[in-house]
Amino acid sequence: MENGYYLLAAFTAVWAGVFAYLLFLSGRQVRLHQKINAIKQVLKEKESK
């Protein structure tokens, strides 16, 4: 098992990379939806006036 650290490093790198990208995408999705909803609200208010 002397090379076990390399195996651990490779698996950690892959899963950390995939999860970091997923988190990045999720964060972007939340921010985009917030912006979309905010503009929709403003447009609705403009329409009702």
Interacting residues toward another protein by CB under 8 A: 1-4, 6-7, 9-11, 13-14, 17-18, 21-22, 25, 28-29, 32-33, 35-36, 39-40, 42-43
Min separation Cβ 49 and another protein, Å: 14
Q: Pick between residue 25 and residue 48 the one whose CB is nearest to another protein.
A: 25
Q: How far apart are CA 27 and CA 22, in angstroms?
A: 9
Residue 18, both tokens: 């995939």
Min separation Cβ 24 and another protein, Å: 9
Q: Output the CA–CA distances (angstroms, integers) from residue 43 to 31, 33, 34, 36, 47, in the order listed.
A: 18, 15, 14, 11, 6
